[in-house]
Structure 1
Amino acid sequence: MRLATWQGASPASDLETGLAEAERALAAAAAMGAAALVLPEVWLPGYNQDDIPARALEIDSAPMRRLADSARKTGCALVVGYAQRDGDSVYNAAACFGPDGGLLANYRKVQLYGPRERAIYAPGDAYALFPLAGETAALLICYDVEFAPHVKALADRGATVILNPTANMMPFTHVVRYTVPAMAANHAVTIAYANYCGSEGDLTYVGGSQIVGPHGEVLALAGDHPALLVAEVPPRDPARLSTQTADLRHVK
């Protein structure tokens, strides 16, 4: 399986810029044989915008249909983070459109980070797993992947790949350096982690987008500038996979 992540600067509420950049990255990822491309968290309209509730999109809105059509045209699945409007509620969500343009999953962030997110968004309450290119994929968003119980729950349900839009900012460099590779290794899953770079309002993003294999090996790693990462995920080697789930002893 070949995966791709796009690391870029926030579209900053410029919808056309966000859509066009996503389409360019998707076309490039598809040309390099990627099965899926992952964009950052709340790519539409941009993570740190002041008017997110007013700019939140419904899942069947014209911008989302445009991205679904782009996935169909390129034959490459697309994971896009976005602010989802559903009735009176707004969710920090990620949609995955399959290579045929169909909606494979729509996931809502469970672990909202900090008072700002909790003031804007309602929390999600369900996981999303789905077949993708012969693997069982799942979605998490940013802070979610830092919680071992969520990663373990997905692995226990059969997930082999976690696609993870994020908006990781300074000073949390330890997440990209240590946490994401450790989660992949400890739970025997591949993680495609797509972050922003640059600044947005009062936030400076750490970059560090990466694709990590199921044995914890970093297959591709971005610095702090725009980057399209594409990496071939190696076959899972049973001799190298973590056995923590089977070996765990519960102490009363």
Structure 2
Amino acid sequence: MTTFNIAGLQLALSANQDNFAVIRQQVLAAKRRFSALDMVLLPELCTFGPAPRFAETLPGATEQKYCDLAVEAGIWLCNGSLFERDGDHIYNTSSVIAPDGKVHCRYRKVYPFLPYEEGVSAGTEFSVFDIPGVGRFGLSICYDMWFPESIRALVWQGAEVILHPTLTNTVDRNIELSMARANACMNQCYLVDINSAATLGVGQSIVAGPGGEVVHQAGAEQEIIVLQLDLAYLRRVREQGWQLLGQPLKSFRDTKVVFPQYQQQRSSYLDQLGPLQKPAGKNWTNESF
């Protein structure tokens, strides 16, 4: 199969409460309307909002609800993410569930949004998974995309489609749209970036193709984004270049350059930037004006 039907659900949800009933209704409605739907992708932390107090161990009760929902709808389902409690650590973890209800893959966000995503630990592994007869998918969550090495790591392992649940309600959303397109073209992949609508997020979800082209960009309101991804097209782009132009994955593969920034973890220049902490306010006085 060279096409894959995916729905991104840009939902209007509430913070600090259980949104699962609303999510379930919208997932089943999407499947009823589009019976050929293969997968649903939800936004980051959509079930309870960005509240670590809802963290659960995995496997857990909330993840099991999503497993049951995947069976009920007969689809692949990515739950966006949940806060996962593991001993003294809390991770921002995405689960991908197969149509038989089994958890096929989990991914812990490698780059929590520090210093604002307080108390959340960083994952240490990048996750890819195969859908038989379709292709290889990679998982990335929100702030991960700001680090191009993270998307390249997934593509280096063969990922063709990047599932990227996000939760953004800040003025930098427009910058993230450009990053989604840039990551897609640099890595010749589909990047499916699904944000929440108000009140959790500002919407503007985007799906970018392997040439960096905008396959779809949503507005700010709730929207069910149903698209057919063409894996044969993506593979042609990787083989021949987008519009017969650049072939960056082959050039990356063939380069003799050893990148210095990956040979050591510390940079004397970057160490001068100071600690990773919230910016402090200034003590304004009359003399300041």
Aligned to 1:223: 219
Q: Is the 8 A contact 2:74 2:99 kept in 1?
A: yes
What count of residue pairs does the alignment treat as equivalent?
241
Counterparts of 1:1-252 in structure 2, within 5 Å, are 1-15=4-18, 18-31=19-32, 32=34, 33-47=36-50, 49=51, 52=52, 54-80=53-79, 81-117=81-117, 119-132=118-131, 134-200=134-200, 205-234=201-230, 235-236=233-234, 237-238=236-237, 239-241=240-242, 243-248=247-252, 249=255, 250=257
Displacement of 1:175 in angstroms is 3.2
Identity of aligned residues (%): 26
Aligned residues of 1:221 and 1:229 also touching (Cα < 8 A): no
Quote the Cα distance in structure 1 between the aligned partners of 2:156 and 2:30. Answer: 30
TM-score by length of 1: 0.88
More strand by share: 1
The 8 Å contact of residues 168 and 195 in structure 1, kept in 2 or not, is answered as: yes
Report the alpha carbon displacement of residue 126 of structure 1 after superposing the two structures with TM.
0.4
Mapped to 1, the partners of 2:27 and 2:247 lie a distance apart of 35
Provide the rounded CA distance (Å) in 2 between the counterparts of 1:63 and 1:245.
Answer: 39
Q: Matched residue of 1:5: which SS?
A: strand
* Larger RCO of the pair (alpha carbons < 8 Å, separation 6+): 1
Indicate the SS of the match to 1:143. Answer: helix
Structure 1 stretch 120-129 or stretch 6-15: which is displaced more?
A: 6-15
- Find the residue that maps to 1:114 and give its secondary structure: coil
Tell me, yes or no, if the aligned pair for 1:136 and 1:160 is still in contact at 8 Å.
yes
Cα distance change of structure 1 residues 29 and 189 upon mapping to structure 2, 3 Å threshold: farther
CA distance in 2, matches of 1:233, 1:13: 34
Please give the secondary structure, in 2, of the residue aligned with 1:70.
helix
What whole-Å deviation, never above 9, does each CA across 1:184-221 have from its counterpart, x for those lacking one?
Answer: 11101111111012234xxxx33111222222222222
**How far 1:59 sits from its partner (Å)?**
2.0
Q: Distance in 2 between matches of 1:83 and 1:67?
A: 14
Structure 1 regions of 5+ residues with no counterpart?
none
Q: Is the 8 A contact 1:39 1:165 kept in 2?
A: yes
Deviation for aligned residue 1:28? 3.1
**Aligned residue type for 2:152:** K
Cα gap change, 1:29/1:213 in structure 2, threshold over 3 Å: closer, same or farther? farther
- For residues 26 and 220 of structure 1, what CA distance do their matches in structure 2 show? 19
Q: Deviations over 1:29-59 (max 9, x none)?
A: 3331222111111123202x4xx2x311222
- C-alpha offsets along residues 195-249 of structure 1, whole Å, 9 cap, x if unaligned? 012234xxxx331112222222222221001111010112322333452132245
Instruction: Give the gaps of 5 or more residues in structure 2.
Output: 261-289
Please say if residues 184 and 190 of structure 2, whose CA atoms lie closer than 8 Å, have aligned partners that are also in contact: yes
Pair member with larger Rg: 2
Superposed CA RMSD in Å reads 1.9
